[in-house]
Structure 1
Amino acid sequence: MTADTHAEDARFAAEFSPDVTAERIAAVYAEAFLDVAQAAGEAESLVLELEEMVREVLDPWPDFESLLASSIISHEEKSQILRRVFGGRVNPRVLDFLLVLSRRGRLDCLRVIVRAVREEWIRRRNEIRVRVRTAVALKAEVALELERTLESLLGRRPIMEQRVEPDLLGGIVIEVGNTVFDASVAVQLERVRKQIIDRSAHEIQSRRDRFRYSE
Structure 2
Amino acid sequence: MASRSPRVAVLTALLAVLAALAGACGSPSPAPPVGASGDPAGPASPSASRTTHPGAGPVVVGPAPEDLREVNWAKTPTPGDFCGIPELLRFDSGNEVRATSTTWGTVRVYRSERFEYGDTDGDQRDEAVVYVGCRDTVTMNAQITSGYVVYARVGDDLAVLGSITPRRKDGAYPTLLTSAEFTPGGITVHERWFRPNDTHCCPSGDATTVWLREGDRLTPGTTRVIS
Normalised by the shorter chain, which TM-score bucket? under 0.3
Tell me the TM-score normalised to structure 2 length: 0.25
Instruction: Give the structure with the higher percent strand.
Output: 2
Greater gyration radius: 2
Instruction: Give the structure with the higher percent helix.
Output: 1
